[in-house]
Amino acid sequence: MLMRLFHKVQKGQNMKKRHLKNRIKIIILCVICAGSFIFFKFSGRIYPMMQISDKMQFGNDPFEQRNIKSKKDIICLFKEKVKNFITEKSEIVLSENVSSMEEQKYQNISVLQSMSAGEVIEVSNLNQEIVGELFYSTALSQVVKERIWNNSYKENNDISIEELCYLRVLHMGFDGQTHIGELIVNQTIAEEVLEIMLKLYQQSYPIEKMILIDEYGADDEQSMADNNTSAFNYRKIAGTDRLSNHSLGFAIDINPKYNPYVKQQDNGELIVSPLNSTEYIDRNQEFPYKIDENDLCCQLFLEYGFTWGGNWNSVKDYQHFEKSK
């Protein structure tokens, strides 16, 4: 990462040198043109050489095909030539500068997109266009397929790996810094999830971690205990033989440690997941990162047609948002 930042700074310095050279060129051209103008204006020796006549024409350019009758005509025409020359060179330099800026923008985007999920990035010098480019979806690359194969993804008859989509987003961490996040979801909800994540980021909504659950060996309990936000994981609902909507890429768990899964058994036993979230069972108390009906995250997912697990009756899954097929 340090090497990438070093190259980025070096490229910025090279661009500044290039812009400075272009400005120096324009200044030199202006000095030469001004000197030539003074020479034409004040040197009387030019007239015997030019043999001015009523029929004389200046140059071959149609713009220049005009009669030269006096010293004043020469000066006026020369002024036009100088003005056009400087304008043309200025436009070229401006075009080069714009091209350099565009090149630098895409270099910045490329560097940021190559960074790993979980890394912190500095966004103070990035405009909104570049920030928007860091929210995107792609088909699963071979690298991602290898990461999830026999972990979160297992061969099955319910969903093919081609139906899944890899998302890259930014999120505001609990540390107040911008982090790179990643999710795998079903293709049919990919754009909606991107829009939700962008809106959450724009409002500085805090999400502590967002990396693939495969970094935890596809172990849901470990991922939740570490407060990791995740989506796809081919697994059954805990304590049942039914597939979770996570198995199809239609569900997302947000800040799970602070928003646990809670189920009251018939024998009175209380099941809480993750195990280290028992202090957040009581939803009447106030604490940071709690998802409820007034929470921005909950409101956005509901606006996009998702169901919130906190509204269920038989169980409460406060971290959980899902959408039907």
The residue among 224 and 5 whose pLDDT is bigger is 224
Tens digits of per-residue pLDDT, 100-127?
Answer: 555 555 557 788 888 999 999 998 888 8
- Side by side, the strands of the sheet bearing 136-139 are 120-121, 178-186, 164-172, 136-139
CA distance 205 to 221: 24
Tens digits of per-residue pLDDT, 170-227?
Answer: 999 999 999 999 999 999 999 999 999 999 999 999 999 999 999 999 999 999 999 9
Whether 60 has a pLDDT exceeding 70, the answer reads no
pLDDT of residue 237: 81
Residue 79 is which amino acid?
K
CA distance 187 to 248: 10
* Helix H or strand E segment including 33: helix 2-42
Whether 249 has a pLDDT exceeding 70, the answer reads yes
Tens digits of per-residue pLDDT, 66-99?
Answer: 555 555 666 666 666 666 666 665 555 555 554 5
Confidence of residue 29 (pLDDT cuts 50, 70, 90): low
